[in-house]
Amino acid sequence: MPNIVIVGAQWGDEGKGKVIDIFASKVDFIVRYQGGNNAGHTVVIGEDEFILHLVPSGILHKGKTCIIGNGVVIDPKALLDEIGTLEKKSIDVDGRLLISDQAHVIFPYHKRLDELKEEKKKKIGTTKKGIGPCYADKAARSGIRLIDLFDEEVFREKLQNNLEEKNAILTRIYNVEGFQFEGLYREYLNYAKAIKKYVCNTTVLLNEALKKKKRIMFEGAQGTLLDLDHGTYPFVTSSNSTAGGASTGSGVGPTKIDKVVGVVKAYTTRVGEGPFPTEFSKDLMDKIRQKGKEFGATTDRPRRCGWFDNIIVKHSVMVNGIDEIVVTKLDVLDTQNSLKLCTAYKYNGKIYNYFPSDIKTLAGCEPIYEELPGWKSDTTQITSYARLPKNAKNYLKRIQALLKTKIVLVSVGSDRRQTFAKDA
């Protein structure tokens, strides 16, 4: 199997956790390359459900090495809690989980600033986990990396400098209490002791693995339309969730990546604020949300739901260089009499066959739909593409034709076993 990147091709929550879990059996290393614990990958194995926020989904496969790359921002408490939860479920992470010493660290002041900014200005829909403010410090070259925590003198100086600035912002701009240095310093030194055994130079490790012909899978978080550069800015995350982020977030050059696989739902969802041209009416929204269990794995917020939007997925295919598509949650559409596929947008008399950069234009776009008949039968017990109802096959074939990209896998439920290859 080649070295591959798995990306979400919509607004996240496409079912990447399950897809990554399936592909993980065929690789040696699984690398998470961006985001933080604002992401949530859900994997269902029999009666057990695992929700992973930082640790790559491949950890559920014995003998696989999982890497949290330099492009990830890490809340040490959240990471240790997640490791503890896995160990309670008899998933051993020692020697199998490795973390880049260059990954930046989230502090309580990042989370506080995240909350306050969300309250003060027009909402973005952030998870308030401190992700954006931590990436902002990274870009401003004032961030604190994991490697800094292991040198008490370096850490002391950097934390003091950061607190001086952050406390000034908190007290003078937001009129709230700042943070005390000593308590925070000691707390994070303790975190450093607890996670030190996992931390190393993962860039060197991964490139040495490539020399030995080891197979690597890069695990994206969130989705393409939440990418800082290529998404619905400013209603986006603070990192590059597209395939290009796999190189910058891991230290593995782009020429070493062989394939990009995009994951889409058979419909569309998004969490938080921002334009959503194909959003359902309230009644259909409630129906699909309940049937699809469309509630955030990280925040439990209800997801907004809508028809499949070819324009945004076509955009994702382009900016990621997607070679193959996986379609999830086909079963959620089982009870629909008819289905709609958005093939273009209309705004002020102009037809858009591409994703417009202007957020005001996108918000005003009217979707142009094709309508297809539904299949009105249960697909959750189906184990092969050949056994799908004719109209379900037609729906998938039309998506494939619109995207000009091959669908390789179809999922009809949350369990590992409810996934099968699509015939050529």
pLDDT at position 367 is 97
> Which of 6, 131, 105, 10 has its CA nearest to residue 57?
6
Percent of the chain with pLDDT over 70: 95
Rounded Cα gap, residues 28 and 329, in angstroms: 28
Burial class (CB in 10 A: 0-12, 13-18, 19+), 350: exposed
Single out the catalytic residue among 13, 75, 148, 309: 13
> Do residues 18 and 43 touch, judged by C-beta distance below 8 A?
yes
Rounded Cα gap, residues 20 and 78, in angstroms: 21
For 71-81, the pLDDT digits (tens) are 999 999 999 99
Residue 209 has which token pair? 């693995």
Average model confidence (pLDDT) across the chain? 92
> Do residues 10 and 225 touch, judged by C-beta distance below 8 A?
yes
Catalytic residue list contains 13: yes
> Do residues 264 and 326 touch, judged by C-beta distance below 8 A?
yes
For 286-296, the pLDDT digits (tens) are 999 999 989 87
pLDDT confidence bin for 45, thresholds 50/70/90: low
pLDDT score of 214 more than 60: yes
The 10 Å CB-count burial string (b at 16+, else e) for 304-333 is: bbbbbbbbbbbbbbebbbbbbbbbbbbbbb
pLDDT confidence bin for 38, thresholds 50/70/90: confident
Distances (CA, A) of 248 to 6, 145, 208, 218, 237: 15, 16, 17, 12, 16
pLDDT score of 424 more than 60: no
For 91-121, the pLDDT digits (tens) are 889 999 999 999 999 999 999 999 998 776 6
pLDDT at position 104 is 98
Contacts (Cβ under 8 Å, ≥6 apart) of 57: 16, 17, 20, 21, 24, 30, 41, 43, 50, 219
Catalytic residue list contains 227: no
pLDDT score of 217 more than 90: yes
For 326-345, the pLDDT digits (tens) are 999 999 999 999 999 999 99
User: Across the chain, which distance is largest between two alpha carbons, in Å?
Assistant: 67
> Which of 297, 332, 314, 315 has its CA nearest to residue 399?
314
The C-alpha angle with vertex 181 and arms to 176 and 183, in degrees rounded to 5, equals: 100
pLDDT score of 126 more than 80: no
pLDDT score of 154 more than 70: yes
For 287-325, the pLDDT digits (tens) are 999 999 898 766 678 999 999 999 999 999 999 999 999
Single out the catalytic residue among 41, 53, 230, 315: 41
For 171-181, the pLDDT digits (tens) are 999 999 999 99
CA 262 from centroid of its chain's CA atoms: 12
**Averaging pLDDT over each range in 32-41, 112-121, 130-139, which range is the top one?**
130-139
Kindly report the pTM of this predicted structure.
0.92
pLDDT at position 41 is 65
